Structure 1
Amino acid sequence: MRVAVIDLGTNTFHLLIAETAEEQPEILYKTNVPVKLGEGRINDNTIIPAAFKRGIDCLKDFSKTIVNYQVDLVRATATSAVRSAENGKDFVNAVKEQAGIKIEIISGDEEAELIYQGVKLSGAIQQPSLIMDIGGGSVEFILCDSEKLIWKKSYNIGAARLMQKFFNSDPLSDTDKQHILFHIQQQLTDLFAICEKYKPQMLIGSAGAFETFAELVSGKHHQNIAVEQLKTYLFNYDDYIDISLKLINSTHQQRVEMPGIIPLRVDMIVIAALITNYVLGRAKINRLMLSSYDLKMGILASMM
């Protein structure tokens, strides 16, 4: 059977088309578009008109590709930006009418479950681990071991939300950093309580910002790795810390000039580095791995 997975993220819309006849799915087509659905007013729970239009146009294009590939089954899921927006249902209805795609708005809990299924498929979970998925609207945390999911939760502390609320300086000032860290600390109390109990040994970053971290770390050592072709990537911890501090203290222009950072992530990567470092420190974890398998692969696994 030929299936299509559409993941409508706060920053990026993804389309993945796969053949599922065999035990392992064969990826036939994969693309992503920086729609920036959460641009401007995500904290006001509104999709602004320009972002609304970009989303519709992107999904019209996805619809044509799906027809060209003669797909049998489509599953389109929307996450934080759509589920929290007051005009989110209007967006879903407009997409159905104009692009012929039926969107399912999933809860934060469902999102975390699907991320877990995707990461599990990559083979990254070999020990007690904390999975972290940094989106534009929300961040999902999943505590698990090699056999089972133990605990999961979605928090509305995504990079686009924090950026719009706190990112007022270039480079990021100590005051802005403190406001961000204080906000994260207030939100994540229960996460650290559960980490204290289960003591995860590995932080597994699900795609997105962690792919950028991997690009930057591998580039530092002139390693010619194609991150998008890897299932997993184990970081040298000191290299990651070095790169993350460089990002946090850099100017916008310095990040623009860093090979390995896509335009969409030039500013959000600072927020991602701050959150990641805070979680590593508070949860007392000093091992970090990328899983390039994320929500999309979890949805694909659920369709097989």
Structure 2
Amino acid sequence: MKIAVIDLGTNTFHLIIAEKNGSQTPQVVFKTNKPVKLGEDITKANLIIQAAFERGIACLKEFKAIADRFGVSQIKAMATSGVRSAHNGSEFVKEARIQAGINIEVIDGEQEATYIYEGVKWSGAITGKSLIMDIGGGSTEFILCSEEKVIWKKSYNIGAARLMQRFFKSDPINEHDKQAILTHLAEELEALKAICKEHKPQTLIGSAGAFETFAGMIDPMLDIDHVATANISLEAYQKLSHQLIKATHQERANMPRLIPLRVDMIVMASILTNYVLSELGIAQMKLSTYDLKMGVLASLSNQ
């Protein structure tokens, strides 16, 4: 049988279709994504604006048509920060059911973090005590863990799109805007710093998204679509993040392997990642290309 998972992120909607044969590990047979930008201007009135609403529904109609062509028998659609925090999120869920025939489950930050952990665990990236970091558009999840269990997890409303809409007012970003972000992060992440001071994770595992961009820009030979995990050189990352932060929008737009959707949000992701690395004394960094959607797939395969 074929099963599909749809991840409705604040910036990007993802679809994966997998073949499930008994107790065997599901095999992904198709995957795609679309830069829907559901969270466009969401910080102004906490609403999914009309244009973004329409883009989201159109994308779901397209995903449903693809799933039907593959003969999918089960669709699991999960919505995260962009939908759960919007005043009209329930209306979007209703219209998705009516217009696209897709039932969306809106998950909270705790469940989101659990799925991310399961996806990253499946990738094989977790070796020893680690801190998983998943930078979304609306929220960022942190999961302190080992191979065997989750020690602590928390979702924060400090996604790249939210930070960008609130703080990114200069080009290139100036010192005032950077300091405003760092002050905000210091206030928000007290609990993260406290738990990591106690447990001292040595590895930061970046879950997909911006970390795929970092890894791909550092190593152009890395085939992101065909690896589950990869090491990221801290020295090379720090050099890259410095270049990204000091560059103008146009300079970043001309950088190879930096997709248009992330041209500005990668600055927010870099500042956030730099803050975590410096505050927590992390010794090494990894990429997991498996994230929430793979965690959802793992949960379906165990049913």
Q: Which residue identity does 1:184 align to in structure 2?
A: L
Deviations 1:213-232 (A, max 9, x none): 0111113xxxx221121101
CA distance in 2, matches of 1:131, 1:41: 26
Whichever residue aligns with residue 186 of structure 2, its letter is Q
The equivalent residue for 1:10 is 10
Alignment partner of 1:296 is 2:293 = yes
Match of 1:113 in 2: 114
Describe the SS at the equivalent of 1:23: coil
CA displacement 1:185-207 (0-9 Å, x = unmatched) = 10000000000000001000000
Q: Note the 1:61-210 alignment, pairs <5 A.
A: 61-210=62-211
Give 1:72 shift. Answer: 1.1
Equivalent in 255, 260, 269 of residue 266 of structure 2: 269
Give CA deviations for 1:47-77 in whole Å, capped at 9, x if unaligned: 0000000000000000101111111111000
> Within 1, Cα distance between the matches of 2:76 and 2:96?
13
Give the Cα separation in 2 of the matches to 1:92 and 1:159: 23
The TM-score with structure 2 as length reference comes to 0.98
Q: Is the contact between residue 42 and residue 85 of structure 1 (CA under 8 Å) also seen in structure 2?
A: no
CA distance in 2, matches of 1:228, 1:252: 26
**Counterpart for residue 60 of structure 2:** 59
What CA distance in whole angstroms lies between the structure 2 residues aligned with 1:47 and 1:37?
A: 6
Q: Which one of the candidate residues 240, 247, 252 is aligned to 1:250?
A: 247
Residue pair 1:95, 1:102 contacting (<8 A) in 2 also: yes
Amino acid paired to 1:2: K
**Counterparts of 1:82 and 1:42, CA distance in 2:** 12
The 3-state SS of whatever aligns with 2:138 is: coil
Cα separation, 2, equivalents of 1:140 and 1:236: 22
Cα distance in 2 between the residues matched to 1:44 and 1:115: 29
The partner residue of 2:238 within 238, 241, 259 is 241
- Distance in 2 (CA, whole Å) between partners of 1:42 and 1:115 is 25
The alpha carbon displacement at 1:31 in A equals 0.2
For residues 227 and 303 of structure 1, the distance between their equivalents in structure 2, rounded to whole angstroms, comes to: 24
Q: For the residues of structure 1 that align with 2:77 and 2:35, how far apart are their CA atoms?
A: 17
The aligned amino acid for 2:20 is T
- Offset of residue 111 of structure 1: 0.1
C-alpha contact (below 8 Å) 2:109/2:154 kept by paired residues: yes
Q: Which runs of 5+ in 1 are unaligned?
A: none
Q: Which amino acid aligns with 2:118?
A: Q
Q: Percent identity?
A: 57
Give SS of 2:297's match. helix
CA distance in 2, matches of 1:41, 1:195: 31
What is aligned with 2:32?
31
Moved over 6 A (4+): none
Deviation at 1:25, TM superposition (A): 1.5
CA distance in 1, matches of 2:164, 2:203: 27
Question: In structure 1, the residue corresponding to 2:201 is in which secondary structure?
Answer: coil
**8 A Cα contact 2:110 2:154, kept in partner:** yes
Distance 1:183 1:115 in 2: 24
CA shift for structure 1 position 43: 5.0
Aligned residues: CA RMSD: 0.8
Q: Shift of the alpha carbon at 1:44?
A: 2.7
| Paired residues of 1:209 and 1:272 also in contact (CA < 8 A) | yes
Query: How big is each residue's C-alpha offset from its partner over 1:207-262, in whole Å with a ceiling of 9 and x where there is no partner?
Result: 0000000111113xxxx221121101101110011001111111101100000110
Q: Is the 8 A contact 1:10 1:79 kept in 2?
A: yes
- How far did 1:32 drift? 0.2
- TM-score normalized by the length of structure 1: 0.97
